Amino acid sequence: MIKENPKVLMGYSDITAILLAIYNKTGLTTYSGPHFSTFGMKAGLEYTMEYFKKAVIESEGFYLDPSETWSDDSWHLEQDDRTFHPNAGYKVIQEGEAAGTIIGGNLCTLNLLQGTEYMPSLKDSILFIEDDEESHPFSFDRDLQSLLHQPGASGIKGIVIGRFQKDSGMTDYALEEIIAAKKEINGIPVIANANFGHVHPFVTVPVGSKAIMKVKNGKATIQIHP
């Protein structure tokens, strides 16, 4: 029924499960992006809105450029007392070039699909993964390792990691060590601190669309194709 009556389905965090399930069963593009409540944000919404429009409304490809600032505050509890930090841009962990199909979302939720008929193939994918404040370095490490043992994981072409919330305790050093320990992804481009996940503002990522990563000399670009 969903395949015959396609709609825009979008959300993040726990919504990852249904986004990937519908994509896997129907081939329809789904969107890792704002909840409806996100549109009620008073300050700091401009970047999120810009990329929502690019991904969902406009028909052309686009680049995922880092936002100027980012925030990890509880905006939904206090709209008029916000804290924004300068954004240094992407963190390059491994360099290289890659092209593939976008698969991903919230990592611990994605992993709940393992062994089910709803788990999408990881073959020839650009993996977009993120986790929230409940995911600490050790849990992120084992969640990523579990994913890398899935069928088709050897075909992952590149990885984009969303910015971690402060309460996760993730550090640049810890993340570098985690990635370096994964021999399965040696030689593919890996970047972190992307505007993707639980830290605002964030891009809308079209699951099932194509992405091209170019990571060289400490710089990274991500291009999305419809």
CATH assignment at residue 188:
3.50.30.60
Specify the pLDDT at position 86.
98
Contacts of 143 (CB under 8 A, 6+ apart): 107, 108, 111, 131, 135
d(Cα 42, Cα 192) in Å, to the nearest integer? 27
75 occurs within a structural domain: yes
4 occurs within a structural domain: no
3 occurs within a structural domain: no
Segments of the chain with pLDDT less than 50: none
Specify the pLDDT at position 28.
97
Please state the domain count of the chain: 1
Range of the domain at 210: 10-225
Specify the pLDDT at position 108.
96
Burial of 69 from C-beta contacts in 10 A (0-12 / 13-18 / 19+): middle
- Residue numbers annotated as active site: 13, 130, 198
Specify the pLDDT at position 59.
84
183 occurs within a structural domain: yes
∠ CA 100-106-111, rounded to 5°: 85
Cβ atoms of residues 79 and 160 within 8 Å: no
Contacts of 66 (CB under 8 A, 6+ apart): 87, 89, 90, 193, 194, 195
5 occurs within a structural domain: no
1 occurs within a structural domain: no
